[in-house]
Amino acid sequence: MSKEVKVPTLGESVTEATVGEWLKKPGDPVSVDEPIASLETDKVAVEVPSPVNGVMGEQKVAVGETVEVGALLATIEDDVAAGESTSVEPREAAAPAEQAPAPASTASDERKDDGTLEDTAPAQAKVHDPEATQTLSPAVRRAVLEHGVDPSTIKGTGKDGRLTKEDVLAAAAEAKAAPAPSSSAPAPSPSPAPAPAATGERREERVKMTRMRQTIAKRLKSAQDTAALLTTFNDVDMTAVIEAREKFKDTFAKKHDIKLGFMSFFAKAACLALKDIPSVNAQIEGDEIVYFDYVDISVAVSAPNGLVVPVVRDADRKSFAQIEKDIADFGKRAKDGTLTMEDMKGGTFTISNGGVFGGLMSTPIINPPQSAVLGLHRIEDRPVVRDGEIVIRPMMYIALSYDHRLIDGREAVTALKTIKEAIEDPMRMLIDL
C-alpha cells in the first residue's frame, strides 16, 4: 500500500515551483511530517513533509523540474511492503561473498542500515560517495569538489544538520591551517600519486538558474525599467552609536537575551525619517499614490540561494530589543531555509547592509513596489574636521536610492539627512526629533 505525496499549497498567487533537492532517497525510512523534498518558489524554499510513516518510494519528478500545486511528487510505501522489498536485496548481494569468503585477517564485518552484515575488504575498499549518506545542494557539491574535503567529516549547521557552503569553506580553511604531520610519525602506505592537472586548462560550467535567482533577476531589471531610479549619498559619524553599544551591550544582552547591533539604530532612525517625509514610505499603484501610516521594514538577508527580504512589521512601534530579535530570527531561518511566504509579504521600505561584506559604497536598487531603499556600508576610520581640527572618526557612507517619479530630490536628501542626524545623536530617537 502506498501513499501519494503531492505539491502542497505554496502561498498566495504562487501556483508552481521547482524541485530544488530530494531530502530522501527511495528506500529511506521516513516519519510523518519529516521533510522529503525541497521546492524552490519565487521567494523561499518550501519543504514537503511526508504525510505518513513508511519508506520513501518512487520519485515522480527529477531535481530541476517545474511542478504545479497538486501535482504528484512521490509515493510513500508502508513499512510492511518496504520490509519485504528490502529483505531480499541484501541476501542477493551477499551471495558472491558466501561463495568466496575473504580471509579473516583481511576482512571485517560492517553493519548496514537495515541491520544485515556486509563483508568488506581493504583491498577492495569502496569509494566514498558523499550522496550516499547525505543530500548535497549544487552549491555545496561544487565547494566539496573544489576544495577536496570529505563531507562525511564535516558537521552541518543547516536545517536538520545539513551541510551549507559555509561549512565546507570553514572545513577547507581549517584543513589548510592544520600543521603538517611530524617527520617522526610512521609514513603512510604508498598510494598512486594523482595525475597532475594540465597547465593552462580552461573550464566552463553551466548551472541552471534557480527559480529564486530568476525571480531576483526579473524583479531587479523590472525596477530599473519601470522606476526613475536615483541615489543620494551622505556619510555618518558612528562615534555616538559605537559608544552607546559599548556602554550598554552587557546590560542589554542580559536583560533582553539578544545582542545590541547597528540595525536597530538604523531601523529606528529610518522610522523617524519616514514619518517626517511620508512619500519615502509610499508607493505608486496605477495612477494613485498609497501612503502608509505604519512602517514595515524589509531587511535584506543573505540566504544560501540568494538575497531575501523578510519584513519587520510595525518597526515604528517596536523596541530596539524586539527589532534585534526579529532580525536575528530572520537571519537564522534564512540560513536554515525555513522562511515562509508570509515573512516576505509586504514591506514599505528596505534596509540593505552591504557593509557586512566589506562594501564601501553602492547604489542599491529599490524593492518594488516600494519607492526607496537605504544602503549601509562598512565603518572605517577617516580624517574629518571637527571644531576646526582634523580628527579621526569611525565613518560610514549611507545611500538612499529612490523612485524619482514619486520622491523629489529635496525629500530624499532631507530623509537621508534625518537618518544621519539621528545616528550621530541617538537622543533624537528617544525624544522623536
Q: Which residue, among 348, 229, 237, has the nearest Cα to 290 in the 3D structure?
A: 348
As a whole number of angstroms, the distance between CA 117 and CA 112 comes to 6
Active site residue 404: yes
Q: Which entry of 256, 408, 425, 432 is annotated as an active-site residue?
A: 408
Question: Residue 74 is inside which H or E element, if any?
Answer: strand 72-77
User: Measuring CA to CA, which residue among 353, 332, 330, 324 is closest to residue 343?
Assistant: 330
For residues 209 and 213, give the distance between their C-alpha atoms in angstroms, rounded to a whole number: 6
How many angstroms separate the Cα of 229 from the Cα of each of 129, 235, 286, 291, 365?
Answer: 50, 20, 18, 19, 8
Q: Tell me the C-alpha distance between 289 and 369, whole Å.
A: 11
Closest CA to 157 of 335, 4, 27, 308: 335
Alpha-carbon span 381 to 420, nearest angstrom = 17
What phi and psi, each to the nearest 5 degrees, are found at residue 21? -165, 150
- DSSP assignment letter at 175: H
The CA distance from 109 to 420, in Å, is: 69
Out of 128, 150, 160, 404, pick the active-site residue.
404
Residue appearing with cell numbers 537621508? 416
Active site residue 408: yes
User: Residue 163, SS3?
Assistant: coil
Q: What string of DSSP letters covers 237-290?
A: E-HHHHHHHHHHHHHHHHHHSS---SHHHHHHHHHHHHHHSGGGGEEEETTEEE
Label residue 350 exposed, middle or buried (CB < 10 Å: 0-12, 13-18, 19+).
Answer: buried
394 vs 28: CA distance, rounded Å: 55
DSSP summary character for residue 345:
S
Type of residue found at 343: D
Catalytic residues: 404, 408
